[in-house]
Structure 1
């Protein structure tokens, strides 16, 4: 099976701007050899010295923020200001692991040992494959690469076929920062070549951020080859609003978070669950926001816009109410007007599928228990949030969310130091924060007898 062509298609016009050849099998073998050779040297570089290089990576993300933002706008339609924010977040991530990495990777003494001393060491494991998505073309790489480069692992990176310029821009940052040749290698690999890389005995593990389908394939390949894998897959995160003293502020937060990155974030608030006494006003405020928009950024591709439109139209045809938006452009561009949708029932695709785009879906509930039942009635388990005047009430419900990231009175706790990841079909493993250096690591017990 051959991958789609690596190409830049401007979603604002549908025009193909540039194409890139797939890697040859010889180039894949060269990458594997280079990554393994670099690992044998990089792992022995003192972590404080690795931190100096990682710090330079952070600085280059900041210096090139405008350039990176422009690339993302052309490749997947990201608003320029959000592209700059993404580059700056990458800076924060690399800085965090450069600063905290030596402490996070330090030996941990095992207490209570008699007859000797024992510690748990955190050692690198080898070259790793990263399979990354298009929606945050820089940040997704940063949260995978930063902790692992600090640990002494090396990286082979297979990016999404639609963001090759982003992939090459990150490669240049790594090279210019002074990483040894082979420590970070971008490859325009095919699906068959990804299988080859995972199967290669020199590769120690694989991390994928993407769809459930892709995650299942990569997990099966990793399991077949006895390799560790980390998966961050889709999400249909609930945002529960029990009560509030400032509905405008909550509606603003709900709308801004849902529309961020044109609604194409795994952990955005895709299901807003609102108490029935607030429901009409809440929906009205979101509808006003949607109707007030004169223009909006395109989705990442025409196919993405068409898929989202099909999901919304399926809901409307089965009785859901479309309060605003939901208009697909004639094409070949990927514009889709931000929508507000209510009346979703279990027989509609929108109930069980992830809506990856600017659609605010709002449900009405009559009690905390009903809100919790609806929030957990999903195969996904990435994140979720609960809003209430009484923090204890909000926390009580948030504690019972079946998610990897639960939030009280905020749409999401985010930062380089805050772990990211989910449960259920949203995947497994964690990135960022102290847990980000705890995945692809040999937690070796080291015992010295008296």
Structure 2
């Protein structure tokens, strides 16, 4: 968590509620100077050979692994992540570096095409300049790495405005990047308020903007960037539906659904959030799922026995609990959890709601914490209808013993960017990441993010 002070803020450990560190905002003038410095670094970096860039990207991955203990402890202190999940986050980020270093060399090569008149065409993927990223706190290292690494590989400069409560993680990343050989100022952390952030979007040296956050924030940032004719990539959260079909392996579905709901303390954009269960297996799934969620132990995120840490901030816990109360007032039932513990730290127990209907926050909104929404469907077709009955479309899942049927549903009917079949998973470096509808647009990972902010340049040699 963080607490505002004059011209700055104090970061707070969400497990202990104790002060971590105090930070001061950059003035608007200082922030603009930082953009200019980043742009100057970019002018040299864009001329650097792709293979040389790849070596530094790989070195960044190694630097992360070498510092994984320190990084994991810092993330846990700043936002309450279980330490072991911090280690997993670092491993994923190192994988992104390795994949990008290898794939980037291929993806960014010039292409030649024959012209209709027998001449030659050359396609170049040229870097465009400084890219501004506004990122959330839930994966303090990964959220920054996700857009920064591909843009550095593409030859761009990168600015990061990280969430206040994980400022220490942002600054540690900058230090590691430069230790690994990245030129100074090419990756720049901006500790700024919202008003200054708006000025950065308008800055003529900033050529693109990327945001991970809420759909409300996405609309504001897209509008501001649009006014300045700057491209955006937006990843805006979701209320992902996981379908339990009539032929599902219930034991597997329960295990993966619990994992998908409580991972990262339930604070994940692609968490499993709505569980749409076909009537014929509803009771079996519900009974086993509620029992498993009841048994989840929350507590000190540095303790290896804890399965659930605190929520990142007190205000986020309050918002989540209000969404639960509003859902209950509109007919939902609490099957387990649902009470704020009387103890230090921003803990919230694993919770299950049923009788979840349209018009309730548990059905319509994103619950960014460990609350699961159980929804009964008449049959498989009805389950698919309910899954798509959402303004969001980031991820989702299907549990069925018939893989062919599940793949057909995923390909032809599920209106989201990513679908897990008989599993739950986060990002994978070699597969695209992103959504549709109010979950945003653009893609990261899988070789797709590397071309989001490049100038696809045509050079024509006619005969």
TM bucket normalised to smaller: over 0.9
The residue that corresponds to 2:167 in the other structure is 164
CA distance in 2, matches of 1:369, 1:246: 18
Rate the CA distance shift 1:306–1:272 in 2: closer, same or farther, 3 A: same
Any conservation in 2 of the 1:304–1:334 contact (CA below 8 Å)?
no
Q: Deviations over 1:254-311 (max 9, x none)?
A: 1111110011100111111111121111111121112223333101111111111111
Which of 104, 107, 121 matches 1:118? 121
CA shift, 1:244, in A, is 4.0
- TM-score with structure 1 setting the length: 0.96
CA shift, 1:184, in A, is 0.5
Is residue 240 from structure 1 mapped to residue 252 from structure 2 by the alignment? no
The residue that corresponds to 2:421 in the other structure is 408
CA distance in 2, matches of 1:286, 1:207: 37
Stretch deviating more after TM superposition (224-233 or 307-316): 307-316
**Secondary structure of 1:110's aligned partner:** strand
**Secondary structure of 1:118's aligned partner:** strand
Q: Where does structure 2 lack aligned partners over 5 or more consecutive residues?
A: 299-307
Is residue 302 from structure 1 mapped to residue 305 from structure 2 by the alignment? no
**Secondary structure of 2:205's aligned partner:** coil
The residue that corresponds to 2:303 in the other structure is none
Which of 335, 339, 343 matches 1:327? 339
CA distance in 2, matches of 1:285, 1:110: 59
Rate the CA distance shift 1:353–1:3 in 2: closer, same or farther, 3 A: farther
The residue that corresponds to 2:354 in the other structure is 342
Stretch deviating more after TM superposition (418-427 or 115-124): 115-124
The residue that corresponds to 1:200 in the other structure is 203
Report 1:163-312 matches (<5 A): 163-244=166-247, 246-295=249-298, 296-312=308-324
CA distance in 2, matches of 1:319, 1:387: 27
CA distance in 1, matches of 2:116, 2:429: 35
CA distance in 1, matches of 2:115, 2:10: 58
The residue that corresponds to 1:86 in the other structure is 89
Which of 325, 347, 367 matches 1:313? 325
CA shift, 1:111, in A, is 5.2
Stretch deviating more after TM superposition (165-174 or 329-338): 329-338
**Secondary structure of 2:164's aligned partner:** coil
Aligned residues: 450
Give the RMSD, CA atoms, in angstroms. 1.8
**Secondary structure of 1:304's aligned partner:** helix
Rate the CA distance shift 1:25–1:245 in 2: closer, same or farther, 3 A: closer
Q: Deviations over 1:350-407 (max 9, x none)?
A: 2111000001111111222211111111110111121211122212322211111133
Rate the CA distance shift 1:331–1:120 in 2: closer, same or farther, 3 A: farther
Is residue 365 from structure 1 mapped to residue 377 from structure 2 by the alignment? yes
Which of 35, 38, 43 matches 2:41? 38
CA shift, 1:142, in A, is 0.9
- TM-score with structure 2 setting the length: 0.94
Is residue 28 from structure 1 mapped to residue 31 from structure 2 by the alignment? yes
Which of 387, 397, 405 matches 1:393? 405
Rate the CA distance shift 1:239–1:434 in 2: closer, same or farther, 3 A: same
CA distance in 2, matches of 1:3, 1:343: 46
CA distance in 2, matches of 1:412, 1:85: 12
Q: Where does structure 1 lack aligned partners over 5 or more consecutive residues?
A: none
CA shift, 1:145, in A, is 0.7
**Secondary structure of 1:405's aligned partner:** coil
**Secondary structure of 1:35's aligned partner:** helix
**Secondary structure of 1:434's aligned partner:** coil
